[in-house]
Structure 1
Amino acid sequence: MSMRKMIPTDRESWIGYDLKMTQHRLRQRLEAELSGTGVSASQNAVLLAIRGNPRISNAALARTAFVTPQSMQGMLVTLERDGFILRTPHPEHGRIIMTELTEKGRTAAQAGMVAAEAVERRMLSKLTDDEADVLRDLLQRCADALEES
């Protein structure tokens, strides 16, 4: 395996920089698509995670939205205040808080899913299906390599 130079030239850049630029543009495009829903990209990720698993823990929600558990707590307070979610104590386990989507939350989550799918289709529009599969695999392998101790 050849090693890339770690000092970029005018004709090349670090893959990490290219990845960050793509992520930044993806986030900008998603925020623009979500502008009419009343939620941010992070809040959208949370609503979609709750839709998929109403018993999901706050820690798992934080990982889903790439925020700290403390930030997640604030996000949940905001989502509840704005009428997107309802949080109630578990009937048998008082320390567990159940989180469910309200009708407003379900509507926003559906709109958020449509927006996320549209942005992903746009991002991948210049790739073949096979190239998209290879990209997904390569990115996962890179993430796995960084996870190793």
Structure 2
Amino acid sequence: MSGNEELPDTARSARRLSIAITRLRSRLRMEAGLHATGLSISQLAVLQQVVDDGPVTAAYLATAQHVTPQSIAQNLAVLKAAGLVRAGRDLQDGRKILMTADDSGRELLTSLQTSRKAFLTRAIDALVAPEERPDLEKTIELLERLAAADFGGKQGGTL
């Protein structure tokens, strides 16, 4: 009996999980029509942050997104040109510029989220038997725990 047959190989499981998550994310992007928006994942993440937390400064966005101010400026320029966000002066401190989501930005995110949810609903209904639903719920709980894992810093090697 080889080592792979005796015990689950954690590294092998980690690799399979990483590949499965990557494939599912790609599929969700495709099903949502994300590529048709012409926006990058980073730009959509910034738009989501503005919708969730706005009005906000570019400095806030850079910190929240863990990117440089230059990266945020580039993403905001694209979002502004597309009419998805707008800039305005802070009424409390006229030196600050606040970013606010336009209605079209909110509508775009809602549309993408609705499409992803519809795809997952169809896939679950078609592929997950009723007796497997508790397994799916347990899997979701495990994925949520993995996503929330905090080891006090980066662990492991590169991707």
Class of the TM-score when normalised by the shorter of the 2 chains? 0.5 to 0.7
Residues 31 and 41, structure 1, Cα contact 8 Å, conserved in 2 = no
Q: Aligned partners of 1:75 and 1:100: how far apart in 2?
A: 14
Percent identical among aligned pairs is 24
Q: Between Structure 1 and Structure 2, whose CA radius of gyration is higher?
A: 2
Match of 1:19 in 2: 17
1:77-123 per-position Cα deviation (integer Å, ceiling 9, x unaligned): 21112221112232213464322122331221221221232344356
Q: Kindly report structure 1 stretches of 4+ aligned residues shifted beyond 6 Å.
A: none
Match of 1:75 in 2: 75
Match of 2:48 in 1: 48
Any gaps of 5 or more consecutive residues in structure 2? Answer: 1-5, 153-159
- Residue in structure 2 matching 1:140, options 134, 141, 144: 144
TM-score (norm 2): 0.64
Any gaps of 5 or more consecutive residues in structure 1? Answer: 8-13
Q: CA RMSD in A?
A: 3.0
Q: Aligned partners of 1:119 and 1:69: how far apart in 2?
A: 34
Q: Aligned partners of 2:72 and 2:123: how far apart in 1?
A: 28
Q: 1:135/1:73 Cα in 2 relative to 1: closer, same or farther (>3 Å)?
A: farther
Q: What are the equivalent positions in structure 2 for 1:57-68 lying under 5 Å apart?
A: 57-58=60-61, 59-60=63-64, 62=65, 68=67
1:54-81 per-position Cα deviation (integer Å, ceiling 9, x unaligned): 1353022x15xxxx24433322221112
